[in-house]
Amino acid sequence: MSFPNQRQQLIDTARRMNDLGINQGCAGNLSFRTGERFIITPSGMHYDEMQADDLVEVSISTGKVIGGGRPSTEWRFHRDILASRNDIDVVLHAHPVFCTALACQQREIPAFHYMVAAAGGKRIRCAGYALFGTQQLSTYVLEALGSRRACLMANHGLITLGKNLQSALNLAVEIETLAAQYIRVLQMGEPVLLSDAQMDDVLEAFSGYGSD
């Protein structure tokens, strides 16, 4: 079994997703890069029962399973993101309540708060809807992400990316907090958005101390 410590860290992080309330049951999935391959949570297994041996190892170039059983049904977008983004090594996917509520209206999160820039852009886009597990969904997700580290997924949930498990998890918690705040702001009326220039300043300030 390769990468035993990282495998346990992945399981611990998956359980933290549920403890923190950003995921429910076995809906989410999580992967990290191991050179030319990635290790991903298996299909339909509860995180509490998951052991290091249950994780699945998949080739990034071919998408073929190298070790373990059935990977998460969402392995395609994990593979496509890891193949196209050398700046990150972890892909996290979950169905947090507030992010998913916005995604069910196919809304993006605009610059209503400066922390939106934590995802690496002036807004957090919402990827178009396609059936879970499909190549079309993966294509929409890549489009919505661009060079950012997060996107919503229409009528589905959230994806965050990170250099490591902790940074992807932290970003998911941050974006779920922003989604909850944004929904409350909408209840009061139209939010006052920050300007492009104001968000440029935030992005520059974040790049100065490493927002990851």
Shortest CB 197 distance to Zn ion, Å: 36
Q: How far is the CB of 93 from Zn ion (least distance, A)?
A: 6
Looking at the chain, the number of H-run helices and the number of E-run strands are: 6, 8
**Residue nearer to Zn ion on the CB measure, 7 or 76:** 76
Q: Which pairs count as long-range contacts for 143-147, CB under 8 Å and 24+ apart, including other chains?
A: 145/81, 145/85, 146/121, 147/87, 147/120, 147/121
- As measured in angstroms, the least distance from the Cβ of 207 to Zn ion is 30
- Full strand arrangement of the beta sheet holding 157-162: 65-67, 56-59, 37-40, 29-34, 90-94, 157-162, 150-153, 126-127
**Stretch touching Zn ion by CB under 5 A, among 1-9, 40-48, 143-151, 154-162:** 154-162
Choice between 7 and 78, CB closer to Zn ion: 78
Q: For residues 47 and 44, what is the distance between their CA atoms, to the nearest angstrom?
A: 9
Residues 116-145 that bind Zn ion (CB under 5 A): none
Minimum distance from residue 55 beta carbon to Zn ion (Å)? 18
Asked about 174 being catalytic, the answer comes back as no
For Zn ion, the binding residues in 102-121 under the rule CB under 5 A are none
Are the CB atoms for 68 and 43 separated by under 8 Å?
no
Residue 157 or 162 having the CB closest to Zn ion = 157
CA-wise closest residue to 79 among 115, 39, 24:
39
Binding-residue total with Zn ion (CB under 5 A): 1
Catalytic, out of 36, 49, 57, 74: 74
Q: Based on CB atoms, which residue is closest to Zn ion, 71 or 157?
A: 157
Please, is 155 exposed, middle or buried when counting C-beta atoms within 10 Å of its C-beta (0-12, 13-18, 19+)?
Answer: middle
The span of 12-20, 136-144, 156-164, 168-176 binding Zn ion (CB under 5 A) equals 156-164
Which region, judged by CB under 5 A, interacts with Zn ion, from 119-127, 139-147, 153-161, 169-177? 153-161
- Which tokens sit at 207? 């790049």
Structure tokens given for 147: 């060079």
Looking at the annotation, which residues are catalytic? 74
Per CB under 5 A, residues contacting Zn ion are: 157
